[in-house]
Amino acid sequence: MSPLRPPPTPRTPLGGAATTPDQLPPPSPHTPRPAITLTAPPSKKKRRGGAAARSLRAIRAVRALFRSLPILAPACRFHGAIRAPGGASRAHDGHVSGASRTTGTLFGYRKARVTLAVQETPGSVPILLLELAMQTGRFMQEMGAEHLRVALECEKKPPGAGAGIGRTRLLDEPLWTAYVNGRKIGYAMRREPTEGDLTVMQLLRTVSVGAGVLPTDVMGGDAGAEVQDAGDLAYMRARFDRVVGSRDSESFYMLNPDGNNGPELSIFFIRI
């Protein structure tokens, strides 16, 4: 009578012999990267033709005419707005009067440099991607302060230094000197989005406000060991009011959801 044998398993196949390492089942596959479906920024989707530009200039001329007319102000004034830094008025919900609404995301591996991405909408390609000379984990700790101010300064090009000088948009400047609450932390560098950056934006396309950690296996790519050493990929996303002071100054003010008393973040771009 033949001895009883255990039923076959992945490690004990039919016949009772143990499997070799080459015969072990393959490890679980990594979560595949999502397909990038981000759209172009709304401001760049369509280029205005000559006729459209002339119509726009005519509309602006009419608006300027109406603005030149006297306005009768009522004697009764409402006190529902407060003044924000830079002279702009802010309502109780934190919105800056006259500002445009944008989406800002701070993200990065905890032991790697933090990156600031500015989008016109959560589902569009970033219009600005800036890498700061500070680790993400340390920056998130700084966010625990009551008010965090990030100042980014760059130098004006001297007149006649080269062709096209003076036409560079402020946010297109490539290199900035960065300060956090008045303390110089080094430099910030503008760069084009990589595949990893676009993957982060794709994963967060349905998130308007929030913070958390993204799955490392999705972001690992070919640099698996380096990514593991860099820690988790943390992110913080919020709505920002964008205030354009002049061609040499812009400000971004983070809006706290529901007007709560959470930390405040202000980012200033200045060309001096």
User: In the prediction, which pLDDT does 111 show?
Assistant: 92
CA distance 250 to 96: 13
User: In the prediction, which pLDDT does 90 show?
Assistant: 52
The answer to whether residues 212 and 206 touch, using CB atoms and an 8 Å cutoff, is: no
State the DSSP code for 96: B
Q: What is the pLDDT of residues 30-57, one digit of tens each?
A: 667 788 999 998 876 554 455 555 555 6
Angstrom CA distances, 19 to 7, 8, 64, stand at 14, 11, 83
- Mean pLDDT of the residues in the chain: 77
Question: Following DSSP, what letter does each residue of 178-225 receive, concatenated?
Answer: EEETTEEEEEEEE----HHHHHHHHHTTT-SSEEEEE-HHHH-TT-HH
Low-confidence ranges of the chain (pLDDT < 50): 11, 47-48, 66, 71-87, 92, 222-223
Closest alpha carbon to 104 in 188, 244, 211: 211
CA distance 171 to 127: 9
